[in-house]
Amino acid sequence: MTENEKLLNDVTNSDYKWGFVTEIEQVEFEKGLNEDIIRKLSEIKSEPEWVLEFRLKAFRHWLTLEEPKWPKVKYSQVDFQDIRYYAAPKNKPKLDSLDEVDPELLKTFEKLGIPLEEQKLLSNVAVDVVFDSVSVATTFKETLNEKGIIFGSISEAIRNHPELVKKYLGSVVPYTDNYYAALNSAVFSDGSFVYIPKGVRCPMELSTYFRINAMETGQFERTLIVADESSYVSYLEGCTAPQRDENQLHAAVVELIAEDFAEIKYSTVQNWYPGDKEGEGGIFNFVTKRGIAHTNSKISWTQVETGSAVTWKYPSCILKGDNSIGEFYSIAVTNNYQQADTGSKMVHIGKNTRSTIVSKGISAGFSDNSYRGLVKVAKSAEGARNFSQCDSMLMGDKCGAHTFPYIEVDNNSATVEHEATTSKVSEDQIFYLNQRGLSTEDAVNMIVNGFCKEVFRVLPMEFAVEAQKLLEISLEGSVG
């Protein structure tokens, strides 16, 4: 950042705008990444020795790696020494009422149909006493405690349940996995930890939204979800509300472990700042998400991606146990200069394992939207079955839609099918709807919704409603 930009930034972001002067007491590290920083980070979080070991091993490995170049995305180099690897949660200025909130933001909230109280929370307005977030969270936590479910931040879990974390951390995504996974393992800030005990069906959808105290998880999030035998959990990550974050690089790791007969449903709605209409700014989202499915278990990923300037994300399932099931449903929308390289990996190891991939890509503006996936059937995967469907829709002639599926089959009893189509919103369809009195914008929304229906169907209900609206907002103005 040049001097001028900095000045500009300081002025535009100054607290003055809101009429507040908040004294923020912050623990902040100097910029840069080295072993000392990692030791200091670990110390501040008062982590046990083994976590520090894990971080250092990951860091040393990371130094030997090169940044991957194969994704079909272009972005300016990230300077890893120019990042502050630890900053205590910033105290955002509290606002007195919604009137003080940026009206643009409120308009978006309204379109998304977010309840008033929730709006306040999201825009950091002091919440009134009746709707005390703490009390809601408390009742919520009590219910979970009764069932023996552990749900909290991973730092807490390291302190309170070290044996569980130690057993599972890095077991699905080892620190050697890839460049960003190694970086994350070295410097992960915080994230969620979920443990569902044997035979328990989690009574509610777990969502980061309720983990209010830990909402500011920072840029190197680490999530670990363990579903013990015969348990069930549905987890929601992110929210439909636009998220503006100062950090440019996000490198999260998510690990799911589904023990025998367990089921994990993981839904993501991601709406990070995609940069402005000229493609300036925006967040780079480089995520490693992977689940391991043991005998008769099921892992289901659902994602709606509308944000980020650059997305690089392949939620995967390792179908290790016999009869295990992996599912991946995705909608990725790119507009303006956004770039997305996303898809799924299904690795069939156990007998009679089944997987389904349904990916819907919508590109508009000048964006590039790629599906990249792998279906691998190992020799041991007798009777494995996969069906993949990747559909792309193009809006405008300046955008790109690409499909790069890899299919590797090493067993003759396996059946693998891949289908992909690329098309546009046809004039006939729009005409048909225009004729019935719908505006072109509404017609396009309706067609897009129909295109994505298979994915909306598997989202948790209220999430699905919001996601549909989110899609409309993301594509606003893309139809001329």
Residues of this chain that interact with another protein (CB under 8 A) are 70, 377, 379, 392, 394-424
If DSSP codes are grouped into helix, strand and coil, which group holds residue 205? coil
Q: Please, what is the minimum distance in Å from the beta carbon of residue 276 to another protein?
A: 23
Minimum Å gap between C-beta 297 and another protein is 25
The Cβ of residue 280 has, within 10 Å, a number of other Cβ atoms equal to 9
Token digits of residue 52: 């520090």
Shorter beta-carbon distance to another protein: residue 37 or 414: 414
Tell me how far, at minimum, the Cβ of 302 lies from another protein, in Å. 24
Q: Output the DSSP codes for 349-407.
A: -STT-EEEEEEEEEEETT-EEEEEEEEEE-TT-TT-EEEEEEEEEEESSS-EEEEEEEE
CB nearer another protein, residue 238 or residue 373: 373
Asked whether the beta carbons of 367 and 72 are under 8 A apart, the reply is: no
CB of 399 vs another protein, minimal distance in Å: 7
Q: Which is nearer to another protein, 71 or 238 (CB)?
A: 71
Minimum CB–partner distance for residue 130 and another protein (Å)? 51
Residue (176 or 243) nearer to another protein, CB: 176
Confirm if 235 and 205 have CB atoms less than 8 A apart.
Answer: yes
Cβ closer to another protein: 105 or 479? 479
d(CA 129, CA 372): 48
CB 390 to another protein: min, Å: 9
CB of 447 to another protein, least distance (A): 14
Q: Which is nearer to another protein, 123 or 422 (CB)?
A: 422
Cα separation, 147 vs 159, in Å, equals 21
Which token pair is 239?
A: 């929210």
Name which of 270, 312, 320, 317 is nearest 459 in CA terms: 270
Tokens linked to 405: 């599926």
